[in-house]
A and B are shown apart, each in its own frame.
Chain A
Amino acid sequence: MTAQLIIFFVLAGLAVIGAVSLIFQRHPIHSALSLIVVMVALAGLYLLLGAEFVAAVQIIVYGGAIMVLFVLVIMLLNAGVEERTNFSKLAATAGIPLAVALTAFLAATIAKSGPVTTGVRPGSVASTQGLATMLFREFVYPFELTSFLILVAILGALVLAQREKGS
């Protein structure tokens, strides 16, 4: 058991506990906090994988912007504890078995395929500079497209949030 494996299991455990807690918490704020735990644990795993830049961006954007937006909306709408309505019997009866089956299937497939062997020394290329070069050379058109996406999203959010005049 190397130090890396121990760190992996601690972070993985945190992530899974956070995700389970997201399901079982009744209050949206508690669910949001659980999700933040998952995200921070994932950022730690990215660091373990040698992806420093992605880890930092994960925390800055996911932890610092997206989840803050969620918390802000929960506070703004004063969302209370989730109502327990049992409208959908289908979800209750078929949901858990299907989800477990899906997870088991995915995990089994991955486990059966065995360790990925590539012959490349892992983590040898993971650098912020390499990432930037790639982003601005090979992926420059997708990159520009995402900027359009953000622009459209901003406009969309504005239009949605605007109250109609006179109301």
Chain B
Amino acid sequence: MSAFFAQHAFWIVTILKIIVLLFVILTLDAYLTWFERKVVAHIQSRWGPYRVGPHGLLQPLADGLKFLFKEDPTPAGVDKFVYYLAPFLALSLALTSLAVIPFGPDPIRIFGYETNFGVADLNIGLLILYAITALGVYGVALAGWSSNSKYPLLGGLRSSAQMMSYELALTLSVVGVLLMANSFNLRDIIAAQGRHPNLGLLGWNIFPQILGFFCFFVAAVAETNRAPFDLPEAESELVAGFHTEYASFKFAMFFIAEYTSMVTVSCLCTILFFGGWLSPFPSGPIWGWTHFLPTVFLGALGLYLIWDGFHYETVFGRIVLPGIGTVFCALAALLALSPAVNAFIQGPFWFFSKVLVFLFVYVWVRGTLPRFRYDQLMTIGWKLLLPVSIGNVLLTSFAILKWGAS
């Protein structure tokens, strides 16, 4: 057994990592829908999902079951092959793009085999990511075309034009970051931001690249077809846009693809502009206490959940919420007692905290901004984002020529 493992360690570990990543990301997607509904509801002074499970925590499960058991009609006159291909393409490309994202700095050991935190570590990681994103347009465009219906066709047309226009700004806005890091590798990009550990968060790319970040984030929101750029699926004009004719699990595939690309974009924002897994605090003995922040956060969350659970209306909630709270408290205790685990968790902790902040911003933007008109969308893309990001490339290159890369 061990000889077999030693021989094929690379493949076994890679497949394991892929399975774990898929499990984590699909769960995250499911709870992202819950998170979005809750946040948007509170923005609009509502309660959001509340009935299924304590605080509506089982709502994603109920939604998933509903998706699986709904009738799945295929409209008349569709192009069968393309109609089935489109959601599959959208989902698989969205999931594949996560493979190049590194989630933490330190390698982990599985039965003596050392492996990185992240599925693939490529020299041209960012380019591959863009390549996969670029192919993502087909899912939407083909879905719109193959549905044999007017609204999806219009939605598909809009989306292909929109995604093509914003891809330019999306690519050009990161050139500044690439110039500063001198690499396409995402690990190198993060490492370049940690070159001066005494600066802490001041060393991140967001400060020199504020223009680039602005362009990148706007373009990324447009690229993922999210509000306020969700014209391809504008419900007041196009019913539901490109997925009007999709029901049941095929619709769920589009849905999961959209949320997965939100996660990817948030990871990318974190990596490119916000220092990835680097702690926002400078290194040094005075700042040693920041290592216990994960413990404090987890412990506080656990205690709050236990307190909240005992006051909950339903019996189920009174059992489940304190249970989750106890698990969190136990994890916090583990972190406090084991310095090795605590040191290992620092990178992933900061990474996922930043990703969560960006996911919140996504929902926040959706809850507050009205949708753009189509001509405004094109004007923003071509007349604002593109020139600003080209200007950013010029500024960055001149600055690097004058002062050097670091």
Contacts and interface: CB of A to CB of B under 8 A. Distances in A.
Direct contact of A and B (CB under 8 A): yes
A57 B153 CA distance: 29
A76 B144 CA distance: 12
B67 interface: no
Contacts of A36: 138
Interface in A1-51: 27, 29-30, 33, 36, 40, 43
A75 interface: yes
B79 A75 contact: no
B282 interface: no
Contact of B131 (A27, A64, A68): A64
A63 B131 contact: yes
Size category of the A interface is 20 to 34
A33 B88 CA distance: 14
Interface residues of B, number: 31
Nearest to A59: B131
A6 to B, nearest CB: 15
Nearest to A33: B82
B134 A64 contact: yes
Contacts of B145: 29, 71, 74-75
Contacts of B167: 64-65
Interface stretch (B120-128, B288-296, B366-374): B120-128
B136 to A, nearest CB: 9
A63 B135 contact: yes
Nearest to B137: A68
A27 B134 CA distance: 23
B157 A56 contact: no
A76 B156 CA distance: 10
Interface string B132-166: 11110110011011000000010011001101100
A72 interface: yes
Contacts of A57: 127
Contacts of A60: 127, 130-131, 134, 171
A65 B142 CA distance: 15
Contacts of A71: 138, 141-142, 145, 160
Given A63-B131, A65-B134, A65-B167, A128 B124 contact: yes
A93 B79 CA distance: 33
A128 B141 contact: no
Q: Report which residue of B131, B133, B171 has the largest number of chain A beta carbons within 10 angstroms of its beta carbon.
A: B131
A38 B131 CA distance: 15
A95 to B, nearest CB: 28
Contacts of A76: 157
Interface string B71-94: 000000001011001000000000
B184 A128 contact: yes
A74 B132 CA distance: 22
A56 B130 contact: yes
A13 B130 CA distance: 26
B161 A72 contact: yes
A57 B127 CA distance: 8
Contacts of A64: 130-131, 133-135, 137, 164, 167
Contacts of A65: 134, 164, 167
Contacts of A63: 131, 134-135
A56 B160 contact: no
A69 interface: yes
Contacts of B137: 64, 68
A76 B161 CA distance: 11
B164 A69 contact: yes
Contacts of B123: 52, 128
Contact of A68 (B79, B81, B85, B160): B160
Contacts of A56: 124, 127-128, 130-131
Contacts of B132: 59
Interface of B: 79, 81-82, 85, 122-124, 127-128, 130-135, 137-138, 141-142, 144-145, 153, 156-157, 160-161, 163-164, 167, 171, 184
Given A52-B122, A64-B135, 12 more contacts: A33-B142, A52-B127, A56-B131, A60-B131, A63-B131, A71-B138, A71-B142, A72-B157, A72-B161, A75-B156, A128-B124, A128-B184
| Across the A-B interface, the 3 shortest Cβ-Cβ residue pairs | A64-B134, A56-B127, A59-B131
18 contacts: A33-B82, A33-B85, A52-B122, A52-B123, A52-B124, A52-B127, A53-B124, A53-B127, A56-B124, A56-B131, A59-B132, A60-B131, A63-B135, A64-B134, A65-B164, A71-B141, A72-B141, A76-B157
